[in-house]
Amino acid sequence: MQQQVQFPSGTVNYYLNSSVDELSKICDIDKAVFVTDEHIAQLYPNIFTGRKLLVVPAGEPSKDLSTISSLSEQLILTGAARNSILIGIGGGVVTDITGFLASVYMRGLKFGFVPTSLLAMVDAAIGGKNGVNLGLHKNILGTIRQPEFILYDTSFLQSLPDEEWSNGFAEIIKYACIFDAVLFEELEENSIAFYKNDAAALEDVIARCVAWKNKTVAEDEQEKGIRKLLNFGHTAAHAIENLCTLPHGKAVSIGMAIACKLSEHVTGLDAAITQRLEQLLLRYGLPINISLDATRVMEILKADKKRKDDSIDYILLKNAGEAIIQPLSLQAIENIIATYESDH
Ligand SMILES: NC(=O)c1ccc[n+]([C@@H]2O[C@H](COP(=O)([O-])OP(=O)(O)OC[C@H]3O[C@@H](n4cnc5c(N)ncnc54)[C@H](O)[C@@H]3O)[C@@H](O)[C@H]2O)c1
Ligand SMILES: [Zn+2]
């Protein structure tokens, strides 16, 4: 199923329910340089046979400038030119690296994504943000540039480890919290095992998340307003993720639990909703607490991209499926994070 989505900076072709075998039909594959990680290169060698291929070590530490520098040198060696297209096949780390590299190499090459993790399918591959980390600061260096295409082949998920299913569901639960009370209830009734065994239900959930993200980014690509809602759970998550070396999905899960506690204080969110969210996160194999060093979390938050003077636009819930953008002082956030540990 092909669908075109217009964003201010470009049009993206979505190929939902497709197959990686279709790649040669949708782009000039002879001009392609593939980017992937070691896991995908090992699991799916046939995709890359006879192709120009750059491979990065799997995992978040690859998302940094030294990788970009090394991949750029390799691109020069492969003879990549302005008419080359980079194709990132992998999880969110690969799609972020590929988008960033394509944005800066020779001032910009075309690029496309084949997301292979659930998290990349519902979130990381979509929206044109291409960031890399600098030390503990997540995605602090980045560009906004849209891929030419995103191709969905859910058969990749057959090899996805259980833990990565959970990480993907963290972002799915995020969409449910901020936009979609019906999805929230559906997730409460189902489980990872259910979605693994029901391809149609899984594809439907992926398509709904893709639609929510596309709608939000199409309205506000530069994140001046409504796109900020997608950061629900992410402000604390970005600090936790690197301080505690947790995977993105798990950090977002804890971040959503913290945001609900903040919401109870600020928006009057019913504590029963916090409890339902916590049960939902646990149901999908996600953590809801961790012991935190509030001072170090705050040091990272002070460098957060969303900070304005001494406040941060925090995303809070008013209800399941209803979120707001609320500027909160750094002090108010610190107070909650400091008490968070003792609350649990
Ligand atoms: N650009 C954005 O808008 C955006 C949005 C959300 C997240 N992100 C970024 O995405 C990253 C997280 O993405 P992720 O969870 O996909 O991480 P990831 O790319 O590290 O993938 C997680 C693990 O799953 C493996 N994997 C991926 N697909 C597989 C498959 N089909 N079979 C077996 N193993 C597979 C990977 O090799 C890796 O070991 C973070 O860096 C986060 O900041 C970006
Ligand atoms: Zn995320």
Q: Quick check: pTM over 0.75?
A: yes
Whether residue 344 is predicted with pLDDT greater than 50 in this model: the reply is no
Give the per-residue pLDDT at 245.
82
Tell me which residues have their CB closer than 6 angstroms to ligand 1: 37, 39-40, 43, 58-60, 63, 90-94, 96, 116-117, 119-120, 123-124, 127, 129, 139, 156-157, 159-161, 164, 167, 248-249
Which tens digits make up the pLDDT trace of 170-192? Answer: 999 999 999 999 999 999 999 99
pLDDT at res. 264: 94
Task: Tell me the CA–centroid distance for residue 115 and ligand 2, in Å.
Answer: 14
Pairing of strands 32-37, 52-56: parallel
289 or 88, greater pLDDT: 88
- Please say if the pLDDT value at position 62 is more than 90: yes
Query: How many percent of the chain have pLDDT more than 90?
Result: 83
Burial class of residue 100 (count of CB atoms within 10 Å of its CB; 0-12, 13-18, 19+): buried
Distances (CA, A) of 166 to 36, 63, 156: 22, 21, 16
Q: Integer distance in angstroms from the first to the last C-alpha of the chain?
A: 45
Chain segment 260-283, per-residue pLDDT in tens: 999 999 999 999 999 999 999 999
Question: Band of the pLDDT at 38, cuts 50, 70, 90?
Answer: very high
91-129 residue pLDDT tens: 999 999 999 999 999 999 999 999 999 999 999 999 999
